[in-house]
Amino acid sequence: MKSLWNPAEAKQYQSDLEQRVYTSRLLGREGSIVLHGGGNTSVKIIERNLLGEDVELLYVKGSGWDLATIEAAGFAPVRMDHLLKLARLPKLSDTDMARELRIATVNPSAPAPSVEAILHALLPYKFVDHTHADALVTMMNTPSGQERVKEIYGNTVVIIPYVMPGFLLAQLCYKEFPKQVNSKTVGMVLMNHGLFTFAETAKESYERMITLVDKAEKYLKRQSAWKVAIPKIKVTKDSRLEPLVAETLATLRRDISKLVGQPVLIAQHDDKQSLAFAQHEDVANFATRGPATPDHVIRTKRIPMIGRDLESYSKHYKKYFDKLSKKSRQPLTMLDPAPRVILDKELGLLTVGKTATETKIVEDIYRHTIEIISMAEKLESWQALPDKDIFDVEYWDLEQAKLRKSGSSPEFQGEVVLITGAASGIGKACVEAFLKRGAAVVGLDLSPSITTLFSRTDYLGIVCNITDEKAVKDALQKTVKCFGGLDMLVLNAGIFPASKMIDKLPLEEWQKVLRVNLDANVTLMREAYVLLKLAPKGGRVVVNASKNVPAPGPGAAAYSAAKAGLTQLARVAALEWGGDNIRVNILHPNAVFDTGLWTKEILEKRAKSYGLTVEQYKTNNVLRSEVTSHDVANVAAELCGQTFSKTTGAQIPVDGGNDRVI
């Protein structure tokens, strides 16, 4: 562990608060020190208010901010005098504490202060840093944890036994810290939780953190227990299982979604490390002792599911809740009994979340957990906190309050849509429309630009020639590996050949148009069916056909015939799949000019040939209104939503009104 302090970089951060921002980000850069909000920092500053009074404020990390990317606005300024008074109270509930912290915050638009604000306040140093470094967590979660801490740090740290984070911890430190502190003290170890360092400058507090973590890492190295390889075993992958993996995963996703009460995403990780851990002969033993630190429980649940027996996992969870909720002072609402981490011999590591970001966070946390458990096992033996302590964090007041509030989530949260021809035009607009409504989106296109269309966890772009059956199957497998299943399919890809009369139409050209605009969609629908059937809220298919179906024009025989065939295919699918709760609907857009096909020159030429201006040509419909690709995309998305939940087999024009269609 090395200090990342860079004097040239640091110079750009002048004030105390800016320095606080700088070293917080340095801590955040190192995943083995802090992970996804799992640490916090503060600085004490005296400021003059509008009344001309000097007020001492604790700028402490606000909730919802990550140290890696924090800015000055991510720190909540809380009055020190109030915090110190709170520390002296004989008791304070979490809800009351959260309210008091809010009241004492002098900036109404600041984020909610960290629940460790009182603890930061009572440490008598200007800068305070707190992390959950892997090396410390490893060492502390072994039977001889405390002796090891003493052996490494001697009397340079204050040692606090484990107690629930929040007010209880602040109260204990308030009593214990003055008893143990001495002239050599540079930090404070919270058993089974993490590490504090402090100093008068940002640099010193940060570097003390690095030094203390480095000592722990070196200690583990000396014991040959640092970054240990997962016990070498032969990783086996059953090739016979491959084609079934997608269906197995989608089935699991449907069942977990049912337990959660809303659709969830699952990400599959079958890399060597994940498989080796999942296939370890003792995994059911050491992976079910508890999380690396108690705060992980909110993301990962107390223990992973080993294998795929969901029923026994949820029964076990209910038992755990029944046993421990009895000891609670107030009635508690049980959280869903579904796992967030699954270790399966064949599938590897699966991470579950309501959004793609959540599955990623769970993955990051669990990858660290795998390392921590492996190191602790090598060092001595992995020993997590008793289930009661984990339960207290999982069910603490503030988390329960969040449940009661339950805001509305985006319409397609936890759902997956696959869109073809997604790199431009209507397809790209569909990607945006579905992302906006909370879906995880897979975009297929021939163009390589599809892979970089968006850089976000809920988007996957795959280069795919949809007329290639194998490529289509691969794309569906990738979809399931990334998000766990498929709920919606938007068949948008198509080609529009140059105008040609039938007497001049070569068979190859006719066949090429049919292959892309019709045949490819048969493959996609056939291969996607098994997945759509497993969609937690029912499958949905939207077919992008054409105005040319109800009102064809001369010179577009192949295009019109293919789209008419596609329309008929979709109508039959609506009949065949209705019993599986899959809805299939058809759009007939017309004259969508904001796509790559229509350059300014082509538009001008066309308009002129009709004796119209470009503007008149674009709005040449009953409503005199231009139809954009976003108009079409929004109808496609709405068709998949609740509003149209009773509609299947419908054909909807998106054309501004066409007198031939009407």
Query: Which residues are catalytically annotated?
Result: 559
Among candidates 637, 120, 606, 260, which has minimal Cα distance to 430?
A: 637
Q: Which residues share a beta bridge with 541?
A: 489, 584
Among candidates 141, 124, 116, 100, which has minimal Cα distance to 38?
A: 116
Of 145 and 656, which CB lies nearer to Zn ion in the complex structure? 145
* Residue whose CB is nearest to Zn ion in the complex, by number: 194
| Residue tagged 């606005």 (tokens) | 73
Of 393 and 543, which CB lies nearer to Zn ion in the complex structure? 393
DSSP 214-251: HHHHHHHHHTT-SSPPP--------GGGHHHHHHHHHH
Smallest gap, in angstroms, from Cβ of residue 382 to Zn ion? 20
> Exposure of 362 by Cβ count < 10 A (0-12 exposed, 13-18 middle, 19+ buried)?
buried
Smallest gap, in angstroms, from Cβ of residue 132 to Zn ion? 6
Count of residues making up the chain? 662
Tokens linked to 337 = 């009994």
627 neighbors 591 (Cβ within 8 angstroms): yes
Of 131 and 585, which CB lies nearer to Zn ion in the complex structure? 131
Smallest gap, in angstroms, from Cβ of residue 397 to Zn ion? 17
Q: What are phi and psi of 121, to 5 degrees?
A: -65, -40
Smallest gap, in angstroms, from Cβ of residue 407 to Zn ion? 26
Cα gap 615→456, rounded to integer Å: 37
Smallest gap, in angstroms, from Cβ of residue 63 to Zn ion? 13
Cα gap 456→101, rounded to integer Å: 34
Reduce the DSSP state of residue 608 to 3 states and report it.
helix
Smallest gap, in angstroms, from Cβ of residue 37 to Zn ion? 10
H helix or E strand, kind and range, residue 128? strand 127-131
Of 32 and 274, which CB lies nearer to Zn ion in the complex structure? 32
Q: Which residues share a beta bridge with 128?
A: 42, 198
Cα gap 222→226, rounded to integer Å: 8
Give residues in contact with Zn ion (CB under 5 A): 194
Of 37 and 550, which CB lies nearer to Zn ion in the complex structure? 37
Reduce the DSSP state of residue 529 to 3 states and report it.
helix
Of 138 and 257, which CB lies nearer to Zn ion in the complex structure? 138
Of 97 and 305, which CB lies nearer to Zn ion in the complex structure? 97
144 neighbors 189 (Cβ within 8 angstroms): no
Smallest gap, in angstroms, from Cβ of residue 117 to Zn ion? 12
